[in-house]
């Protein structure tokens, strides 16, 4: 009998050491998800949404279960309209209006009916000198003034320390302290250029947490491919909100994808989040459909290849028990399991194919078929979906499990 798993990924996991129990340790704080597909995602080259598309994405993200949805109302009148409509849509998620540290931007957010805003100002010297051409003193004063202005209207606000990862640590600590004192309800520590390593992000969060107890957001760019790892290191150090986007869209190469972050938190940390994980694949497809930007087949969790098995040894194992090569049941994230037939097929794959065709033949015929597929030298020939509940067509011999 082949083994199938429950669609609850927390119980459906392959028993694994991962590496000893400390990796499954719970996080210091319950982690929240802020999805910024509609703000950071729209900064991705080639991406722009219509108001209707923005609303559909927001509605789906809300139903999926993210805590916050971020949008920028200041880009254009259409963005302002989208933001306003989202505020009025009665979603459970908090809508966060992302603006600059300018009174006129805060006024736009207020016009939209925002309760929560996020405002950003650079804190690294490279940005202050070359991007904004202001002194540290001016930067601090501008930041405090903007926070006080927003608070005077009773807004909740996150203050983003743009380019925090390249800022002078003492200056960063002092800005964090000052804006928290001025009333910021959250502080975002972005790795704006994606230059941190996980231990660096851990140290950054720990350092800031020593001077303020304001809740911390993590916004990690993926320039070296470390965004997810850095975000996880940051929550291990006590941050409690991770920024994501569908398909990882964002400026340059983007930020961690919603799918990666959700599965990492559920699977590795057993976070008790009420998320409709089975929507992940549809969310990814929705955004690819709207934008025409197709995700890579090797995109984790939602990619076309995420649960596709090819080598004879892998297919043989999957037919016996999917847990051998799958971390979660594909259906639990709305994806599908497929096996690839062709040059690399083994006799177990061939036997499975024969059984699907209603041909209950023996090992010799399966072997002949596998040889036949190899001898064509045509690489991959076709793929077939393999159901979640497998009727085992595995051959009795498990010699193939050892074959290279
Ligand atoms: C940007 C800024 C930002 C802000 C992140 C945040 C960054 O690209 O315009 O508000 O938490 O990466 O620093 O996206
Ligand atoms: Cu960013």
Q: How does DSSP assign 71-109, residue by residue?
A: E-SSS-HHHHHHHHHHHHTT-SSEEEEEEES-HHHHHHH
Cα separation, 110 vs 162, whole angstroms: 23
For ligand 1, atom 4, name the residue with the nearest CA.
Answer: 162
Counting from 1 in the atom list of ligand 1, the atom nearest the Cα of 164 is 13
Cα separation, 367 vs 114, whole angstroms: 66
> In the predicted model, what is the mean pLDDT of residues 314-321?
91
Q: How far is the CA of 190 from the centre of ligand 2 (A)?
A: 7
> In the predicted model, what is the mean pLDDT of residues 232-249?
97
Mutate to test the pocket of ligand 1, among 32, 36, 105, 192 (most ligand atoms within 8 A of CB): 192
pLDDT at site 80? 97
For ligand 1, atom 14, name the residue with the nearest CA.
Answer: 40
> In the predicted model, what is the mean pLDDT of residues 341-346?
88
Q: What dihedral do alpha carbons 241, 247, 248, 249 form, nearest 10°?
A: -120
Mutate to test the pocket of ligand 1, among 162, 194, 243 (most ligand atoms within 8 A of CB): 162
For ligand 1, atom 6, name the residue with the nearest CA.
Answer: 160
> In the predicted model, what is the mean pLDDT of residues 35-46?
96
Q: Look at strands 241-244 and 32-35 and give their pairing.
A: parallel
Counting from 1 in the atom list of ligand 1, the atom nearest the Cα of 163 is 13
Say which residue, 285 or 392, is predicted with more confidence.
285
Ligand sitting nearest the alpha carbon of 98: 1
Count of other CB atoms within 10 angstroms of residue 267 = 17
Mutate to test the pocket of ligand 1, among 43, 98, 159, 160 (most ligand atoms within 8 A of CB): 160
And the tokens for 72?
Answer: 């920028």
Work out the pLDDT band at 224, boundaries 50, 70, 90: very high
pTM of the model: 0.92
pLDDT at site 26? 76
Q: How far is the CA of 34 from the centre of ligand 2 (A)?
A: 13
Say which residue, 107 or 267, is predicted with more confidence.
107
pLDDT at site 403? 47
pLDDT at site 274? 93
And the tokens for 87?
Answer: 């505020």
Work out the pLDDT band at 3, boundaries 50, 70, 90: very low
Say which residue, 10 or 354, is predicted with more confidence.
354
Which of 296, 208, 216, 214 has its CA nearest to residue 253?
296
Q: Given a cut of 70, is residue 402 above it in pLDDT?
A: no
> In the predicted model, what is the mean pLDDT of residues 351-363?
85
Q: Given a cut of 70, is residue 342 above it in pLDDT?
A: yes
Which of 40, 34, 102 has its CA nearest to residue 62?
34
> In the predicted model, what is the mean pLDDT of residues 301-305?
97
> In the predicted model, what is the mean pLDDT of residues 290-301?
95
Q: What dihedral do alpha carbons 199, 163, 39, 301 form, nearest 10°?
A: -20
Q: How far is the CA of 9 from the centre of ligand 1 (A)?
A: 32
Do 166 and 126 meet the contact criterion of CB atoms below 8 Å apart? yes
Q: Which residues surround ligand 2, an ion (CB under 5 A)?
A: 40
For ligand 1, atom 12, name the residue with the nearest CA.
Answer: 192
pLDDT at site 359? 87
Q: Is 47 helix (H, G, I), strand (E, B) or coil?
A: coil
Work out the pLDDT band at 149, boundaries 50, 70, 90: very high
Q: How far is the CA of 122 from the centre of ligand 1 (A)?
A: 9
Q: How far is the CA of 250 from the centre of ligand 2 (A)?
A: 7
> In the predicted model, what is the mean pLDDT of residues 224-234?
98
Q: Given a cut of 80, is residue 144 above it in pLDDT?
A: yes
Find the range with the poorest average confidence among 215-219, 234-238, 378-382.
Answer: 378-382
Residues within a 6 A CB radius of ligand 1: 40, 118, 120, 160, 162, 188, 190, 192, 217, 219, 221, 251
Q: What percent of the chain has pLDDT over 70?
A: 90
Find the range with the poorest average confidence among 12-16, 40-44, 340-344, 361-365.
Answer: 12-16
Find the range with the poorest average confidence among 5-14, 203-212, 296-305.
Answer: 5-14
Domains along the chain with CATH numbers: 27-291 (3.20.20.70), 304-385 (no CATH)
Average pLDDT along the chain: 91
């Amino acid at each position: 009998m082949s083994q199938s798993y429950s669609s609850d990924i927390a119980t459906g996991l392959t028993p694994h050491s991962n590496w000893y129990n400390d990796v499954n340790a719970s996080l210091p704080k319950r982690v929240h998800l802020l999805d910024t597909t509609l703000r950071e995602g729209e900064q991705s080259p080639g991406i722009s949404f219509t108001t209707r598309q923005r609303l559909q994405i927001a509605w789906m993200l809300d139903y999926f279960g993210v805590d916050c949805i971020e949008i920028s109302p200041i880009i254009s009148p259409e963005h302002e309209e989208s933001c306003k409509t989202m505020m009025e849509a009665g979603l459970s998620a908090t809508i966060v209006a992302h603006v600059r540290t300018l009174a006129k931007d805060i006024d736009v957010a207020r016009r939209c009916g925002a309760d929560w805003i996020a405002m950003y100002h650079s804190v690294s010297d490279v940005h202050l000198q070359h991007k904004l051409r202001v002194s540290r003193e001016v930067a601090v004063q501008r930041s405090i003034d903007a926070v006080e202005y927003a608070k005077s209207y009773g807004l909740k606000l996150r203050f983003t320390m743009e380019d925090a990862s390249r800022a002078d640590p003492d200056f960063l600590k002092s800005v964090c302290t000052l804006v928290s004192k001025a009333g910021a309800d959250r502080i975002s520590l972005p790795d704006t250029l994606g230059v941190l390593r996980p231990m660096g992000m851990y140290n950054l969060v720990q350092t800031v947490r020593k001077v303020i107890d304001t809740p911390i957001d993590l916004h990690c760019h993926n320039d070296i491919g470390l965004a997810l790892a850095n975000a996880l290191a940051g929550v291990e150090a006590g941050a409690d909100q991770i920024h994501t986007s569908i398909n990882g869209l964002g400026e340059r190469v983007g930020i961690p994808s919603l799918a990666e972050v959700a599965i990492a938190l559920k699977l590795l940390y057993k976070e008790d989040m009420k998320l409709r994980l089975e929507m992940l694949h549809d969310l990814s497809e929705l955004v690819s459909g709207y934008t025409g930007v197709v995700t890579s087949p090797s995109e984790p969790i939602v990619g076309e290849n995420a649960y596709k098995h090819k080598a004879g040894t892998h297919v043989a194992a999957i037919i016996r028990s999917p847990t051998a090569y799958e971390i979660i049941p594909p259906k639990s994230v709305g994806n599908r399991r497929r096996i690839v037939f062709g040059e690399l097929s083994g006799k177990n794959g061939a036997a499975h194919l024969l059984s699907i065709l209603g041909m209950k033949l023996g090992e010799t015929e399966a072997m002949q078929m596998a040889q036949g597929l190899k001898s064509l030298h045509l690489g991959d020939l076709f793929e077939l979906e393999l159901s979640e509940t497998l009727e085992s067509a595995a051959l009795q011999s498990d010699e193939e499990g050892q074959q290279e």
